Amino acid sequence: MEMSFDLPVMYKGEERTYPTRAVLYGYAYRFYVLVDGAELLFEKDDEQQFRVLQENPSATPPDAALLSAIVHSLEQLSHT
């Protein structure tokens, strides 16, 4: 099952939205977030912490603060 939505993210004092796909994988969701033309995969590891995987590892990685802000927004989804 897959659902698409715009993920609101607070970053550097402004709210941005990123196109996101949530895909059911086993018993958990994987979140594919489109950031500056690159799709990033966010999933929880064995310790239930989000990790991010970049589809194209040779591309320039996004800012670490932006990744943290996206993780924060994804964590808020699971608390609602």
Q: What is residue 12's predicted lDDT score, i.e. its pLDDT? A: 94
- The chain-wide mean pLDDT, for the chain, equals 91
Which range, of 18-27, 48-57, 61-70, averages the lowest pLDDT?
Answer: 48-57
Q: Is the pLDDT of residue 67 over 70?
A: yes
- Measured CA to CA, the distance from residue 22 to residue 70 in angstroms comes to 14
Buried b / exposed e over 3-33, threshold 16 CB at 10 Å, is: eeeebebebeeeebebebbbeeeeeebbbbb
